[in-house]
Structure formats: C-alpha cells, structure tokens
Amino acid sequence: MDLKEPCMCKGFGSTLAGPALQWFVNLPNGSIGTFADLVNAFNLQFASSRRFEKTTSDLYKICQKYREPLRDYLTRFNKEKVSITNCDTPTAIEAFRRGLGRDSPLYDELTKYPCKTMDDVQAKALAQIRLEEDKRGDEEKYYHPNRKISSHKQIDYKP
C-alpha cells in the first residue's frame, strides 16, 4: 500500500494557519481522494484572496486627475512602476503619456517628440514641473487674493 498520498495530505495541513487551517480541518471525511484533489480544492477556496503580480499594462489605469499637479501624477505613476518586475519600457512610456491630461503641454511634447527611455520622460516631466511651479509661484506672488494693494492718493494736477 502506497502511503505517500495520505502522508502528503496530512502534512499539507501542518503548513496552514488561520482560516486556511480551519477550512482544512472542516473538510468532510472522504471528500479528498488524492493530493492533487486537495491542492485543487484549496486553490478554488482561496483563489480570490491571492495577490496577482502587476504587469506593465496595469500602468494604463493610472491617469492624471482633473487639476492634479504634474508632480503628483508623476509620483503616483513612479510608485506603481517600481512595483512591477520586468517593467516593459516602451509600454510604460506610452502608459505615462496616455495618462496625462489632454490639455497638458507635456502630453503634446511627448506626442510630438517621443522618448526612448523613462529617464528621458522623467527629464521632460521635471522640466515641465519646474516651469509649472515657477509660474504658480509668480501667480501667488502677484495675484494672491489676500494681498493688500496700496492705495495712492489721487493728486489733481493743475497747471
């Protein structure tokens, strides 16, 4: 009599904890015929809680939000990009470009002059961020709503 299958099934239970162990303990007697049956039943039970590995195409889900500063979009995109093993560069570049707002000057730039590396995309993005933040700084400096405008007395000029 081959005891390999029953030993593997019993040993499988010793590797489990929490809800997985509870599921294993509650299996009806005789419901599992082979170790392969046990593995299949386990996978069916817990497949929904399995984390799927991210792929480069998942980057297409990241889009610049309405009025979101380019710096924030770039940060979110890079955070997702680094979590992808073997990230495909051309796909990442295209996903970044497509995720930009259509009114973005960087979208126009990357469409007219495509980049071959993410470093080139980053450089163009950082240049655009520098320009946006400089303009925003000027607007706040000159057009700040709480800025007090000095009043000048009107002098009547009489010749």
pLDDT at 124: 96
Distance CA 33, CA 19 (A): 22
Q: Are 92 and 81 in contact (CB under 8 A)?
A: yes
- Which top CATH class is 56-142? mainly alpha
Q: In tens digits, what is the pLDDT along the chain, a chain of 159 residues?
A: 577 877 887 788 888 888 888 888 888 888 888 888 888 888 888 777 666 788 899 999 999 999 999 999 999 999 999 989 889 999 999 999 999 998 999 999 999 999 999 999 999 999 999 998 888 876 665 665 555 555 555 555 565
pLDDT at 7: 81
pLDDT at 13: 82
Distance CA 22, CA 13 (A): 10
Q: Where are the domains of the chain?
A: 4-49, 56-142
